[in-house]
Amino acid sequence: MSTAVVVDPAQEGPIGHRKNVLQRFFRHPTGVVGLSIIGFFIVISLLAPVLRPYDAARDRDLRARLNPPSAEHWFGTDELGRDMFTRVWHGGRISLRVGLIAVAIAVVLGTLLGLVAGYVGGWIDTGIVWLVDILMAFPGILLAIAIVAVLGPSLTNAMIAISVTQIPRYARIIRSVVLSLRESEYVQAARALGSSPVRIVAQHILPNSLSPLVVQLTLSIGVAILDVAALGFLGLGAQPPNPEWGLMIRDGFAQFLRAPWMSIFPGLAIYLSVVGFNLLGDAIRDVLDPRLTGV
């Protein structure tokens, strides 16, 4: 008499599976372009203090104020004579850091809420779903503005506000995945063997929930960068003299007819970084989707 063996998909050849995923990803032109753009911005932002040191209090030259792009100042100068090229690259350190941290906080909290709601169920699930629905009823940027208005304008509060607006997305994604996995055969087998709920969630459910989580994460970073810039433009995020992209666009808004480069170059940096994360997210979704890859 043969015995059926229930195998957890998360345990089926992880090394070979990862290798195949990486091979498919690097054959995806969109993913390679997106990863290249993101890598460029990350490397330049990390090396900015070494390549182009910047001190907002001292790097001013009023004799060179509002100079157009030239060999000396590739991106021109602002109203205080500060080099825009240097400020744009240092601004990337702020925008990328805040975006990444905000999304990381949202991923952790949203994943925990989704796991608890999906696996425990009952009134806890109902309460979490109501909370998520209430948060998602507000447009993200309006909710972020309201939170910063209560907490006070600062880069830290802007990061907290962006995290709060991102949490419901991850909670809903993880909850839906958990609902489909908690009654699967390998989860029932683990439960029958006496595994605790925490062990089942950590070893069987969470690993099989990572694919949609990774896709949403890469797409959310681009949204977070846009939100950071929007709050900075409204004066609710980074405060002067910090070289943040949204704040730089706001400073250049009043001088746009005389010095359009003050807004164009930080705006272009925002555009390229968001496009890079969106291309990467689309490629990861295509690679991990079995209906598209035939896996």
pLDDT tens digit sequence for 155-188: 899 999 999 999 999 999 999 888 888 777 777 7
Model confidence band, residue 269 (pLDDT cutoffs 50, 70, 90): very high
Is pLDDT of 290 > 70? no
Q: Which amino acid is at 108?
A: V
Question: Does residue 274 contact residue 265 with C-beta atoms inside 8 Å?
Answer: no
Listed range (14-18, 142-146, 156-160, 229-233) with the worst mean pLDDT: 14-18
- State the CB neighbour count (10 A cutoff) for residue 176: 15
Q: How buried is 47 (Cβ within 10 angstroms: 0-12 exposed, 13-18 middle, 19+ buried)?
A: exposed
Is pLDDT of 203 > 70? yes
And the tokens for 192? 């029958």
Helix and strand totals (H; E) in the chain:
12, 0
Between the alpha carbon of residue 54 and those of residues 228, 249, 294, the distances in Å are 21, 19, 50
Is pLDDT of 292 > 90? no
Half-sphere exposure of 264 (CA within 13 A, CB side): 12
Average pLDDT over residues 73-100: 89
**CATH code matching the domain that covers 24-293, chosen among 1.10.3720.10, 3.90.580.10, 3.30.70.270, 1.10.10.10:** 1.10.3720.10
Is pLDDT of 60 > 50? yes
pLDDT in the model for residue 226: 92
Model confidence band, residue 257 (pLDDT cutoffs 50, 70, 90): confident
Average pLDDT over residues 266-292: 85
pLDDT in the model for residue 291: 57
Residue of 240, 277, 280, 269 lying closest to 93 (CA atoms): 269
